[in-house]
Amino acid sequence: MQTRGLFLTFFVFSLLFLFSHGTHAATSCPWQNQHGADFFNLDVKLGQEKLLTDSQVREDLDCLRILLTNVYSYGGIGNDHVILKRLEDLSTSAQPSSNTEFVNQIFSLHLGFIDTHLSYQAGNSEQHFSGNQSPRVMLSEDLEEGKIIDRGPYVYFKTGRVPSPITKTQSDFIQFVRKQDRNLIIDLRGNGGGDDGFAHELARVLFTMGEPIPKTIKNQLLSPLGNIGYCLSLAISYGPEMGGGKEYCNQIRESVTSLQFAQLLPYHYQTKIESLQGERPVLYKSKVYLIIDSTCASSCETIVEKLSAHSRVVTIGQHTYGALHYSNPGIFVLPNSETVVRLPTLRQDYENDAGEGVGYQPKIQTTNIDLDSLSF
């Protein structure tokens, strides 16, 4: 199960209230001296300004240090990492502040280390790195999302977001490509992410049998602490059913229920090289246009990353968003400021790479596309 959605902030954090109950101790990290199952609860009052004493600020910074060192996948965050050095300086000079000011301060720890999936929110402030903000792409006509539309010279499909498991129409489109060799227009606008499964399956049926698909190196930071935060993220993103991760999260819940605080912290990195190959028996000869702009983010960009390496694929539009290298976020709450912390637990590096916060540049750059004038 992998989650790479670039979620709309208001949507995600309004959903937090659906999972809020219980009261965390104000003098310790929410998980300290508690059983692991308590992680599935949130107690957060977003939008409310509150004042913190200097000792409360230091307590929340201590909790944040635990998260950064045991959950966050940015890479190489040891005791001498600049982010932790900045945190130590902030703790040493802690002053009374509002939770809004506190969020602004802790976000400054990450300056120079761009990760568009990371975010902090409390009081009246939500801080995150913005990706590429290129102009939106407009089509000569709006066609229905999630429907395979045969226009004769080409077949049009607008993916929409990509959940796990993928939708029936997304699965139908993959089977269509598997069995056909037609000119395609795949519209990725508005696809804010989800799961990488659609990208992988579509690449397999487009690339020729045995042909290598661009590789991905995955570095997953695994800890009981991170697993719990990730499952809470799934619950917020997909609802009580948690998409395809319900069984996984039930197993996590059972495994951590009897664990004490110290047992939640041990972690290790699991490194995998994702190496895919095509399954198509013959070369795909028709032309494929991928329509992209800055509303294509996260796992949507995985579609671009995989497919744009194919000789018959042409990207057209504007730069994608640039939420590329991080996923599987965990969500936690700091006790005094009630800051909602969203930290990815997985980092990915691509053979067909692009810059974080920059995204993939189209081969044909334009803001207006006449579908019927495209060259096939």
* Whole-number Å distance between alpha carbons of 8 and 75: 26
Mean pLDDT score of the chain = 88
> Looking at the structure, do residues 116 and 142 belong to the same domain, yes or no?
no
Q: Tokens 């081969």, residue?
A: 363
* pLDDT tens digits, one per residue of 134-183: 999 999 999 999 999 999 999 999 999 998 889 999 999 999 999 999 99
* pLDDT tens digits, one per residue of 98-108: 999 999 999 99
Does residue 163 sit within a domain? Answer: yes
The one-character DSSP state at 211 is: P
pLDDT of amino acid 13? 39
The CA-atom distances, in angstroms, between 44 and each of 7, 32, 41, 63 are: 19, 17, 10, 16
pTM of the model: 0.89
Contact of 322 with 358, CB cutoff 8 Å = yes
| Residue 169 backbone dihedrals phi, psi, to 5 degrees | -70, -35
pLDDT of amino acid 1? 61
What is the domain count for the chain? 2
Q: Tokens 């509002």, residue?
A: 98
Closest by Cα among 343, 342, 359, 347 to 303: 359
What would you measure as the largest C-alpha separation in the chain, in angstroms? 68
> Looking at the structure, do residues 36 and 119 belong to the same domain, yes or no?
yes
* Whole-number Å distance between alpha carbons of 226 and 326: 14
Which structural domain, as residue segments, surrounds residue 280?
138-217+273-322+354-363
Contact of 267 with 226, CB cutoff 8 Å = yes
Name the CA dihedral angle for 206, 209, 214, 218, rounded to a multiple of 10 degrees.
110
Does residue 84 sit within a domain? Answer: yes
Does residue 372 sit within a domain? Answer: no
* Whole-number Å distance between alpha carbons of 352 and 199: 14
Beta strands at 368-369 and 138-139: parallel, antiparallel or unpaired: parallel
* Whole-number Å distance between alpha carbons of 73 and 196: 18
247 or 209: whose pLDDT is higher? 209
> Looking at the structure, do residues 16 and 55 belong to the same domain, yes or no?
yes
> Looking at the structure, do residues 54 and 80 belong to the same domain, yes or no?
yes
> Looking at the structure, do residues 78 and 47 belong to the same domain, yes or no?
yes
The amino acid occupying position 6 is L
> Looking at the structure, do residues 118 and 142 belong to the same domain, yes or no?
no
Residue 277 has a CB neighbour count (10 Å cut-off) of 13
> Looking at the structure, do residues 337 and 299 belong to the same domain, yes or no?
no
> Looking at the structure, do residues 189 and 317 belong to the same domain, yes or no?
yes
> Looking at the structure, do residues 46 and 102 belong to the same domain, yes or no?
yes
* Residues found in the chain: 376
Whether omega before 135 lies within 30 degrees of 0, making that bond cis, reads: no
* pLDDT tens digits, one per residue of 310-338: 999 999 999 999 999 999 999 988 989 98
* Sign, Cα dihedral of 205, 208, 212, 214: negative
